[in-house]
Structure formats: C-alpha cells, structure tokens
C-alpha cells in the first residue's frame, strides 16, 4: 500500500503549528511557534493578537514542516483545524490551507479540533485502535467521548459551564500565578496538602455524566477573597493541591462510570489538562484497580499541536472526506 503523508495546520488558539504525518501515526516533520510569551503579559489569550501572530508566523512554520518532509511533492493532502476555537485564529489557518491546497493542487481536509486531541493518542500509541473511551480535557472543552471508529464519535458527557482547563487557569490567576496557569498550578500543588480544604463536588448523586466546574472555581475564589478580607495568612500550595484533587476526583468519577456503562477496558485521556501530573496519577491509580488499559499522549501532544490534526485527517482522507475552497472557520462545532 502507498504511504500517505498529510500536512496539517493548527491555529485554533495561541499555538501556530504545522506538521507532516505518515499514515496517521508517524510524525515526519513538525514546527510550532508558541505565543505564550506574548499573551502572558495580558494574563490570558487575546484573540486579536493571536490572529495577527498566526498571520506573521504561518509562512515560516508551514515552510519548515514542508521542508522537513522533503518538499510539497511528498505531500498527499493538506488538512486544517476549521473549528471549534477562536474564530479569527481559525480563519488564518483555514485561509492559509486553502491557498496552499489551491496552489499545490492537493485535496483539502477539514479537522475538528477535539477529534484532533483524541488522535494525539494514535501518534503516541501506534497500537491503540477504536473502539475506546476518551476523556478530552482542555482549556476549552471537557468531554467524555465514545470513539466508535477512527471517524465516528459519540459524546456521553460534557461540561455545562467552564472547561476544567478554564477553571484551572482562573484559579491559578487568583493565586497570582503567571499564564498559562496549568503547569504553574501543578508545581505549586506539589508542595501543598491536598486534604487541607474540602471544596464542593458538582452533580453528586446524579445519573448523567456531565461536568460543572464553575461552582468549584467560585468556591476557591471566595475562600481566597475571605482570607484577604480578614487579613488571614494562607498557603497557596494547600489551596492549589486541594483544588486539583477535587478536579481529578470529578474527572475520574465520571470517566470511569462511563467506562463501566460502555463496558470498555480501553481508556484514553487527551487535551492540555491531560499533561497534569496529579490528574495522570489519579487516573493511573483507578485504572489499575479497574483493570483498564490507560493511554495518555506524550506531553508535547497533550497541548495544541498539528501532528494530532494530521493524524485525524489521515482517517478522514481514507474515508473520502474533502472540503471545497468555500471551507469556513466555525468557532462552535459539534463533534
Ligand atoms: O488543549 P490545549 O492546549 O488548548 C485547548 O484546546 O484549550 O489546553 C490548554 C489548557 C490550559 O487551560 C492549560 O492551563 C492546561 O491546558 N494545561 C495544564 C497543564 N498543561 C496545560 N493544566 C494542568 N496541568 C498541566 N501540566
Ligand atoms: Zn486544544
């Protein structure tokens, strides 16, 4: 069988990324320009600034990925994340991919960002095959997905308000940590007592698999404001550790309940928050007890990257999915 190389572009948030992946599993080349240093100053991603920097960096990033694959003649199709995400940021990648596909006379393949996160596990685990269950936990999404086959997904539970990553970034900010809060909160929590504070768990005793993190976020912020108003000293590390434990417990509880209901012994976790050490440890412990095979992407493929988009695009390509030059960015998009 002939090898298929796909070039993918990802610009849904603050990473400008391009990669070439062979047969959906093997990374041939990749380039990533992270805008973290730019947005740090503002304490979060500023959409307009993200778009402008994508426009500036895309030519260089895409060129590096193409060159790493030995030139455009080695590329069979061009893929791009067309949603969900920041609309302006998505548009820069979609426009670039359309121009490239037209000029190079290559097919254009649209990819759903969440499907991309799931497929990050295919890059890190060449043996992983559907059906399996996947928890996607990122800055924008918290979703339990049944992966029926490489291109068919069913959402079993999702957050009704904040994504886990959103709550993590907000709590980190109130604790005075720099953007992006997740990795900094993880390090602070290592020095804290995770049993020091008890925060509320959402939807206790309810039958659905949905999440809610906004009540938890508010409880943590109220506690910190209370300390400040009373001029009471507190250890931020204890707050960070107790908060992360609550997040991990909730993610574990719903995800393993979904595994029980779907009667699966294969579970994957994906998305930026799946890089978190405390959350990984909680999942590993429970997976051992339940006799479930657990998969995480390598750290570099947890957060936004283009290799995961190229992996996803390979299966869409094989199925015959193609986009026209009228492809548009879609900020909100069902999986
Ligand atoms: O998947 P991602 O790169 O972008 C979205 O699609 O949203 O996820 C970014 C999120 C941010 O909220 C960031 O703080 C969080 O992932 N994150 C982490 C860690 N690394 C990234 N959260 C906790 N611990 C980490 N080590
Ligand atoms: Zn993402």
- The DSSP string of 13-81 is SSEEEEEEEETTTEEEEEEEEE-HHHHHTTTS--HHHHHHHHHHHHHHHHHHHHHHTTSGGG--EEEEE
Distance from chain centroid for Cα 183: 14
Question: Which pLDDT belongs to residue 265?
Answer: 98
Beta partners for 27?
21
- Measured distance CA(130)–CA(264) in Å, rounded: 11
Same domain membership, residue 142 and residue 110: no
Same domain membership, residue 179 and residue 33: no
Residues 6+ positions from 276 with CB-CB distance below 8 Å: 168, 182, 186, 244, 248
Same domain membership, residue 9 and residue 23: yes
Strand 15-22, strand 152-158: pairing: unpaired
Domain housing 134:
128-300
Q: Do the Cβ atoms of 314 and 23 come closer than 8 Å?
A: yes
Flag whether 335 is in a domain.
no
Instruction: Count, in order, helices (H) and strands (E) of the chain.
Output: 10, 10
Query: Whose C-alpha lies nearest to ligand 1, atom 8?
Result: 272
Flag whether 332 is in a domain.
no
Tokens at residue 82, please? 């067309």
Q: For 206-219, give one letter per residue: b (16+ CB within 10 A) or e.
A: eeebbbbbbbbbeb
Closest listed ligand to the CA of 137: 1
- Measured distance CA(208)–CA(169) in Å, rounded: 26
User: Residue-wise pLDDT tens for the chain (335 aa)?
Assistant: 899 999 999 999 999 999 999 999 999 999 999 999 999 999 889 999 999 999 999 999 999 999 999 999 999 999 999 999 999 999 999 999 999 999 999 999 999 999 999 999 999 999 999 999 999 999 999 999 999 999 999 999 999 999 999 999 999 999 999 988 999 999 999 999 999 999 999 998 899 999 999 999 999 999 999 999 999 999 999 999 999 999 999 999 999 999 999 999 999 999 999 999 999 999 999 999 999 999 999 999 999 999 999 999 999 999 999 999 999 999 999 99
Per the listing, tokens 């095979």 go with: 293
Same domain membership, residue 101 and residue 184: no
Question: Which pLDDT belongs to residue 1?
Answer: 80
Question: Which pLDDT belongs to residue 299?
Answer: 98
Flag whether 175 is in a domain.
yes
Flag whether 326 is in a domain.
no
Same domain membership, residue 180 and residue 242: yes
Same domain membership, residue 274 and residue 133: yes
Query: Whose C-alpha lies nearest to ligand 1, atom 7?
Result: 139
Question: Which pLDDT belongs to residue 180?
Answer: 85
Closest listed ligand to the CA of 172: 1
Same domain membership, residue 312 and residue 175: no
CATH code of residue 24? 3.30.420.40
Flag whether 59 is in a domain.
yes
Same domain membership, residue 29 and residue 154: no
Query: Whose C-alpha lies nearest to ligand 1, atom 21?
Result: 272
Ligand 1 atom index nearest CA of 141? 7
Flag whether 244 is in a domain.
yes
Query: Whose C-alpha lies nearest to ligand 1, atom 11?
Result: 139
DSSP 98-156: HHHHHHHT--EEEEEHHHHHHHHHHHH-TT--SSEEEEEE-SS-EEEEEEEETTEEEEE
Which of 122, 72, 70, 140 has the alpha carbon at shortest distance from 102? 72
Same domain membership, residue 164 and residue 99: no
Question: Which pLDDT belongs to residue 204?
Answer: 85
Flag whether 17 is in a domain.
yes
Same domain membership, residue 145 and residue 84: no
Compute, in angstroms, the gap from residue 311 CA to the centroid of ligand 2. Answer: 15
- Measured distance CA(272)–CA(164) in Å, rounded: 10
> Which residues form the pocket of ligand 1, taking CB atoms under 6 Å from any ligand atom?
13, 138-140, 165, 168-169, 180-183, 186, 271-273, 275-276, 303-304
Ligand 1 atom index nearest CA of 277? 26
Closest listed ligand to the CA of 164: 1
Question: Which pLDDT belongs to residue 30?
Answer: 98
Beta partners for 18?
9, 31
Closest listed ligand to the CA of 140: 1
- Measured distance CA(243)–CA(253) in Å, rounded: 16
What is the end-to-end Cα distance of the chain in Å, rounded? 30
Flag whether 47 is in a domain.
yes
Domains in the chain, number: 2
Q: Does residue 147 come out as left (phi exceeding 0), alpha (psi in the -120 to 50 range) or beta?
A: beta
Considering the entire predicted model, what is its pTM? 0.97
Same domain membership, residue 241 and residue 213: yes
Same domain membership, residue 183 and residue 74: no
Ligand 1 atom index nearest CA of 139? 7
Which of 134, 127, 122, 37 has the alpha carbon at shortest distance from 305? 122
Question: Which pLDDT belongs to residue 205?
Answer: 85
Query: Whose C-alpha lies nearest to ligand 1, atom 23?
Result: 182
């Amino acid at each position: 069988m002939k090898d298929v190389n796909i070039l993918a572009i990802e610009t849904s948030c603050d990473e400008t990324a391009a990669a070439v992946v062979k047969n959906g599993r093997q990374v041939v080349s990749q380039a990533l320009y992270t805008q973290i240093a730019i947005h740090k100053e503002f304490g979060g991603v500023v959409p307009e600034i993200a778009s402008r920097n994508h426009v500036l960096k895309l030519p260089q990033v895409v060129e590096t990925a193409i060159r790493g694959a030995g030139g455009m003649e080695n590329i069979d199709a061009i893929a791009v994340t067309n949603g969900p995400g920041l609309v302006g940021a998505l548009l820069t990648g979609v426009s670039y991919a359309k121009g490239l596909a037209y000029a190079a006379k290559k097919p254009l393949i649209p990819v759903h960002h969440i499907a991309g996160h799931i497929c990050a596990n295919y890059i890190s685990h060449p043996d992983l095959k559907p059906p399996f269950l996947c928890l996607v936990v990122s800055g924008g999404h918290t979703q339990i997905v049944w992966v029926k086959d490489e291109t068919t997904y069913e959402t079993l539970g999702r957050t009704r308000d904040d994504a886990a990553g959103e709550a993590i970034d907000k709590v980190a900010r109130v604790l005075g940590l720099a953007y992006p809060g997740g990795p900094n909160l993880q390090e602070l929590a290592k020095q804290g007592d995770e049993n020091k504070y008890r925060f509320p768990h959402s939807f206790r005793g309810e039958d659905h698999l949905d999440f809610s993190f906004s009540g938890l976020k508010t409880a943590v912020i109220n506690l910190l404001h209370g300390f400040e108003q009373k001029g009471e000293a507190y250890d931020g590390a204890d707050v960070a550790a107790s908060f992360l434990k609550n997040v991990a417990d909730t993610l574990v509880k719903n995800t393993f309940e979904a595994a029980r209901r779907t009667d699966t012994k294969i579970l994957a976790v994906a998305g930026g928050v799946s890089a978190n050490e405390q959350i990984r440890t909680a999942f590993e412990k429970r997976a051992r007890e339940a006799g479930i095979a657990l998969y995480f992407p390598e750290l570099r493929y947890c957060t936004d990257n283009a290799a995961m988009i190229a992996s996803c695009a390979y299966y869409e390509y094989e199925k015959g999915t193609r986009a026209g030059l009228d492809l548009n960015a879609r900020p909100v998009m069902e999986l």
